[in-house]
Structure 1
């Protein structure tokens, strides 16, 4: 699967004692880089690995601590399932101590060529079920509640209705495994190539309705939706009751809000007004290089988040 590596939580006053030691190594950087004194954002934006490497270094845990000092209260990590178990646990422990939330990781071990759910073939369904079981264990280590699922590519020798039925049946089997653990798979419509089976939110909406489980929802990635069809706000309203997670990336360029054509201030206000409390994944690159680019990214989120 070709992807980029990348509930607003208020920390109680008593938690400051707990977090002092964790944040100490980055405190000098924080004093010189905080925007709006590092206050939490209105929405819970989730950083990814590498986003603040110039300020905090290459260790993702140090980047998480730095992001906390800037006001971020969430992370997402597409490749969490591929990290060593001890590292998964360390990241989970760090998030718990800081009062931060883990957003999505990508379903472990599967790509578009190994997750051909539309085919209905047992070999692909078996791999999908095994991956669902693995996702449960990753989620336990990181206190994560959601992970990303992409059904894979079209199967060109089958009618679209048959393919859709195959995907629905596979997802039903997957949700039977994860639902008892309070875990949710979020189906992501993508724009990466025309061979992908799942490309639009209304298509994902129909699948979620047919599956009928709280453990199957839509990942609403504004970057991909803008590229595939646009009409982001009306579409969001149409499928809202089946959205479980949001991701951000401006278009063109797939960088932070304000670097492209999408009006994220209006979108963020809509999401906030609807009462969404989960992570909004920052699945994009930095438009600028070095520390200056990282500071510009923080400023861009302050501006887009300034709808109140």
Structure 2
């Protein structure tokens, strides 16, 4: 028996033991609804853990399950922390299945104290060293994008000085990435989940990227964060368009899959598709329902939101 099939059957069996007849009903329905992969119009990228009830815990088996459902991309914030052997195995699986590697986090994020905003030379050098380390990971995985979070506001400095400190650090990082044709994507984060962070709005990210003026420094437009922070999603996407290199997805409230909240994802996906977007859209959200039914709900939500 192939390892992939064994893992799937083992995972299903474990689930059935815990759920009894309800588990049998859920699994039967799931199998009936997952007979063939869906032809998604956009490169939606699930993450590890999203489909463990169907695919098991092995990362490679999870990738194969994603591909079987029609997903053509994958993202993993924690990829840099995985072993080299695991990275290589995942890279091979993605190559074999024609999947595009999305973002991973390029550096250690300090969620408590100012870093790049401070202008501190030692903190900047640490950041640049981590960018250099991330190049090896990106090349190993055939990745093009890596996430950068600019850190906390420095309450002891004028905001404009902080902006200049950030721009200078990003210019130096871009010079490191450009020869490898890699791109760091700056992620604005909302005030509700991440109070006190320096980068929170898409116009601010747009201004910084224009100042850095490099193909290696672009915007990660997280639709969930920007719905909370500023709304006005489609006009802001249009205005920032030439600096956006990556999208992430999550409905609000709750940060779950599309169709569970207030964001009209069908219109957003239709708009992005019509503009000719060829990049990845990371599914950076939780499942709204636990278990097999929750995993099936995620897949069906993306089918529904892609039906335009």
Structure 2 unmatched ranges of 5 or more? 13-26
- Residues 287-306 of structure 1: matches in 2 within 5 Å? 287-306=288-307
Secondary structure in 1 matching 2:281: strand
| TM-score normalised to structure 2 length | 0.89
- Write the mapping of 1:158-177 to structure 2, written as runs, cut at 5 A: 158-177=157-176
Larger radius of gyration: 2
Q: CA RMSD in A?
A: 1.9
In structure 2, do the counterparts of structure 1 residues 198 and 129 end up closer, same or farther at CA, with 3 Å as the change threshold?
Answer: same
Runs of 4+ in 1 over 2 A off after TM superposition: 21-31, 33-37, 108-115
Structure 1 residue 25: deviation in Å? 5.2
Stretch moving more, 115-124 or 230-239: 115-124
Report which stretch shifted further, 23-32 or 214-223: 23-32
Which residue number in structure 1 is paired with residue 19 of structure 2?
none
Question: Where do residues 44-63 of structure 1 align in structure 2 (5 Å cutoff)?
Answer: 44-63=43-62
Distance 1:65 1:90, change over 3 A: same
Q: Is the 8 A contact 1:47 1:74 kept in 2?
A: yes
Call closer, same or farther: CA 1:115–1:158 in 2, change over 3 Å: closer
Q: Give 1:143-292 correspondences, 5 Å limit.
A: 143-191=142-190, 192-292=193-293
> What runs of 5+ residues in structure 1 fail to find an aligned partner?
1-20
Q: Deviations over 1:158-181 (max 9, x none)?
A: 111100000000000001001110
Q: 8 Å contact 1:154–1:197 — kept in the other structure?
A: yes
Number of residues of Structure 1 aligned to a counterpart in Structure 2: 287
- Listed one character per residue, the Cα deviations across residues 99-138 of structure 1 (whole Å, up to 9, x for unaligned) are 1010000113333347710111011101110011011011
Shift in CA distance, 197/33, structure 1 to aligned 2, threshold 3 Å: farther
Aligned pairs for 1:52-131 (under 5 A) are: 52-113=51-112, 116-131=115-130
Distance in 2 separating the partners of 1:254 and 1:59 = 25
CA distance in 2, matches of 1:182, 1:174: 12
**CA contact 1:82–1:108 (8 Å) conserved in 2:** no
Task: Measure how far apart 1:89 and its partner are.
Answer: 1.0
45-54 or 30-39, larger mean C-alpha shift: 30-39
**Structure-1-length-normalised TM-score:** 0.89
- CA shift, 1:60, in A, is 1.7
